[in-house]
Homo-oligomer: A and B are copies of this chain.
Amino acid sequence: MKRICVVVASRANYGRVKSVMKAIKKHPNLDLILIVGASALLDRFGNITKIIEDDGFKIHRSIHYVIEGENLTTQAKSTGLGIIELATAFQDLKPDAVITVADRFETMATAIAATYLNIPLIHLQGGEISGNIDDRVRHSITKLADVHFVATELSAKRVIKMGENPKYVFNFGCPSIDVLIGQNLEINSAIMKNQLGAGIPLNWKRPYILMLQHPVTTSFGEGFEQVTETLNALKAIPNFQKLVMWPNIDAGSDDVSKGIRHFREYNMSEPIYYYKNFTPENFARVLKNATCCVGNSSSFIREGSFLGVPAVLVGDRQKDREHGENIVFSEYNTKEIVKKIKSIIKVGYFKQDKLFGDGSAGEKIADKIYQLNFSEIK
């Protein structure tokens, strides 16, 4: 049995690796070792341990390594603490390989701990370009990783061009698409009744706009203003309910949260409901059934292109990212955001785009992991 360790270190991580975890767990020759850490454990950012356990996964270690402060220094230091803590866990759990996802500071901590412990490192979602500091981190992790499961053809080419062995670069699509396949993505109050939030509850039979906007590390300190522009745009669009999600933990998420709290305090009567997190499936439902999305979440590009949901991407967090036709971009500017939302709503839903895969990534990845000869890799 190969022991494959997955580190889920944020709410966003989970949706992107869940189908891989499922396939590993099901595989007769693989053992799933699960570490949950960092913001994935924090109530403020939507503690997802319950969701993970309800999905039937056993958590082997829960590790706190977020140094509170949400600024640039604490982000660096949380990475350092994460390395220290994950090194302990890897030493105890002795996995045959470690899977890390995407480009966040927790991902970097996982990558470095595994590298220095001589444990083969498997990276998901390498080779993408978003146009900000995440690119540096993502590519840096690519150069530490031994095996790459990328999400698009273009990403595969970039990873190989960076010097990685093509023998270990595989494009099976993004596991986040798998969640959209083979299940009822209808939304209604019965299904959503356990998803707690705050504000004016939504009537799921009526149209709503979904907002999710994260801080941008390279413009640290501007998150309050940035999110306020978007929130004011929501307010300026009548006849729609709105669903607002709180941001991920990141340098600056405190600013964005403050912007949302401040807006909420003065707009209690607006038809807005505020959520911290969803199960991956419920997030898929919320996304699929939105009339339009607004903010800067990469899910609008990734899952959004597959679902064909129109989305207005605000600011430059995703400016260079490969995307489908469902996306338009806007500056941080209430007027422009309003205009772009109104015009894309008129267009309506887009055709399914398989740019990020066809929904079969999880099983293909697990199977390939089983076939890999780790002793040859490291």
Contacts and interface: CB of A to CB of B under 8 A. Distances in A.
Main SS class of interface, A: helix
A80 interface: yes
A189 interface: no
Given A68-B68, A198-B265, A87 B73 contact: yes
A193 B351 CA distance: 54
Contacts of A241: none
Interface stretch (A3-11, A136-144, A357-365): A136-144
Contacts of A82: 80
B64 A66 contact: no
A251 B77 contact: no
B85 A73 contact: no
Given A116-B105, A139-B143, A140-B140, A73 B81 contact: no
Contacts of A79: 80, 83, 112, 116
Interface string A127-148: 0000001001101111110000
Interface string A21-52: 00000000000000000000111100000000
Interface string A324-363: 0000000000000000000000000000000000000000
B254 A43 contact: yes
Interface residues of A, number: 62
Identical chains in the assembly: 4
Interface centre among A69, A251, A258 (most CB of B within 10 A): A69
Interface in A75-98: 75-77, 79-85, 87-88, 91-92
Contacts of A141: 140
A158 interface: yes
A278 interface: no
Contacts of A188: none
Contacts of A369: none
Contacts of A81: 67, 80-81, 84
A73 to B, nearest CB: 5
A176 interface: no
Interface string A181-205: 0000000000000000010000000
Contacts of A198: 265
A41 B66 CA distance: 15
Interface centre among A71, A84, A117 (most CB of B within 10 A): A84
Given A65-B67, A80-B82, 7 more contacts: A67-B67, A73-B87, A76-B113, A85-B88, A105-B116, A140-B143, A218-B378
5 contacts: A73-B87, A73-B91, A80-B80, A116-B251, A161-B162
